[in-house]
Amino acid sequence: MLELLPPPPADPLWELTRAFGTDERPQRLDLVLGVYRDRTGSTPVMAAVREAELRLAERSESKEYRGLSGNTAFNRALLDLVLGAGRPGPADRAAAVQTVAGSGALRLLADLVCRTRPGTTVWISDPAYVNHRPILEAAGLRVRPFAWRDADGGFDTAAVMRDLGGARREDVVLLQGCCHNPSGVDPSWEDWEALADLAARDGWVPFVDLAYHGLGDGLEADLRATRMLAERVPEMLVAVSCSKNFGLYSDRTGCAIVLGASARAVRHAETALQNAARTLYSMPPEHGAAVVATVLGDEGLRAAWRAELDVMRGRIAANRTHLTARLTALGLDAPARALARQKGMFSMLPLDAAQMLRLREEFAIYGTTSGRVNIAGLPSDRVACLAEGIAAVLDPSGRGR
C-alpha cells in the first residue's frame, strides 16, 4: 500500500526550520517560526503560567477524561475573555469547545461549516496564514482569495470591499481579529465597522481567527473588532489560540466558539463540534487548558499575566521601531514606512523569493519565501544585522537606496 503513495510536498516552514538546524554559521538568525523570544533569543515560560502549573501540581487532581468539550472552566473563561465578561448579548448565544490549539479550532469549525453546507465558499485574505487554505480545503470547502494590501504595503480598503462585495449570502469570510499573519497589516476601526456592515447587509458569516490578541495594541484593543462583529451579526465563528499570548506552544491549547441567532442553533452547533472532535482526536489535552483556566480564574495571576503580555507587546513594538529606524538610516524610506504601520509578531519584507534566498544564503537570515519574518523572534542586538542584510539584498551595489 505505502509503495503507491506519491511523494508528498514537504511543509515549507518546517523545511526552513530543518535547514536552519543544520546551518553551522554562528551568526545564523531564525525568523521563521512564530514564537516569541526575549532579548537573549530564548522562549521563556511566562511567570503566571509557571505559578499556575505549580498550583496544579500541588493539587494533583485526577487525570480522568474531561469530556468531548474539554475543560469547561477553560471554555467559560475563553468566552468571557473573547466576548467580554458581563457583556449582555453575544455571550448569551455562544458556546465554546476546547480544541487542539488554534489550528484544531480552525479545522473543527471548518468541519462544522462543511457539515452544515457542503462545498461552502470560504474567502481568505491574500496573503493568508500559510495553513488557512490547507485546513479549509482538507475539510471539503472551496476557497477564494480577497485582496488585503495595497501597493504601499498598507490595508487596501477599496480592494477589500470590492472583492468581498462578491461574497454571497451564507458564504464564510475568514478574518484575522488582529495582528494579521503574515503581513502585520490590520484594518482601521472604520474599516472593521465597514466590514461588519457588509456582513450584516449581505449575509455572509465572519470566521475570526484569534491567535495574537494582546500582542498588537493591547488585549482589550485587540479584541475590540471581534466583540463588535459579535454584536452586529447573527452568526459568527471564532478560532482562539493560547499558543502565543500564554506561551503554550507545545501544550496545544485552543478553543472553538460559535455564535448563533438562537439558543437552539448554538446547542446543535456545540454538539456537532463535539462529534467532529470525537472522530478526529476524541478529547483535547488537559494541561494547557487547566493552566489558562487557573490564570484567568485568579485575580492576581490574571493581572500578572496581563502585565507580562504588555512587556512582550512592548518588546515586539520596540523591535519594529528599531528596525524601522535602521532602514530609514540606510535610505530605505518606503520599506520603513510600510513596516512602521504593521502590528504584531510578523512583518512582510519587500523581498521576493529569490531575494529571501539571498538573505538566507549570504547573511544566514531565515525568513519565509513570501518575505514574512518573525519580529517577535528578533534578538535586540541583531536588529542592525537584519536591516543591513535587507539593504544589501534590495541594492547589492549599495547605491541609490
Q: Give alpha helix (H) positions in 35-100.
A: 47-59, 72-83
User: Which residues of the chain fall below pLDDT 70?
Assistant: 86-91, 396-401
Paired strand residues for 173: 123, 206
Record the pTM.
Answer: 0.94
Chain position carrying cell 503560567: 49
Burial classification of residue 86, based on how many CB atoms lie within 10 Å of its CB (0-12 exposed, 13-18 middle, 19 or more buried):
exposed
* Per-residue pLDDT at 399: 40
* Per-residue pLDDT at 90: 63
* Per-residue pLDDT at 85: 77
65-297 in CATH: which number?
A: 3.40.640.10
* Per-residue pLDDT at 159: 98
The cell numbers describing 401, all together, are: 537606496
For the stretch 356-396, pLDDT in tens is 999 999 999 999 999 999 999 999 899 999 999 999 999 86
> Where does CATH 3.90.1150.10 sit in the chain?
2-44+314-394
Neighbours of 236 (CB within 10 A): 24
The three-class DSSP label of residue 348 is strand
Compute the half-sphere exposure of residue 180: CA atoms within 13 Å on the CB side of its CA: 22
CB distance 345 to 309 below 8 Å? no
> Where does CATH 3.40.640.10 sit in the chain?
65-297
For the stretch 264-310, pLDDT in tens is 999 999 999 999 999 999 999 999 999 999 999 999 999 999 999 99
3-state SS, 99-146, equals EEHHHHHHHHHHHHHHHHCCCCEEEEEECCCCCHHHHHHHCCCEEEEE
| Domain 2-44+314-394 class, CATH top level | alpha beta
CB distance 294 to 52 below 8 Å? yes
